[in-house]
Amino acid sequence: MGTQTKKIMIALLFASLAYALMIVFYTPQQSSMVALVVLMVALWTNEGLPLAVVSLLPILLFPAFGIVALEKVTLNYAILCSKRTKPSF
Domain boundaries, the chain: 3-85
C-alpha 42/C-alpha 36 separation (Å) is 10
User: Residue 89 above 80 pLDDT?
Assistant: no
- How many CB atoms neighbour CB 21 within 10 A? 14
For residues 55 and 78, the answer to whether their CB atoms sit within 8 Å is no
Q: What is the pLDDT of residues 25-55, one digit of tens each?
A: 999 999 999 999 999 999 999 999 999 999 9
pTM: 0.82
Residue 18 CA neighbour count, 13 Å, CB half: 20
* Residues 78-82: contacts with CB under 8 Å, at least 24 apart: none
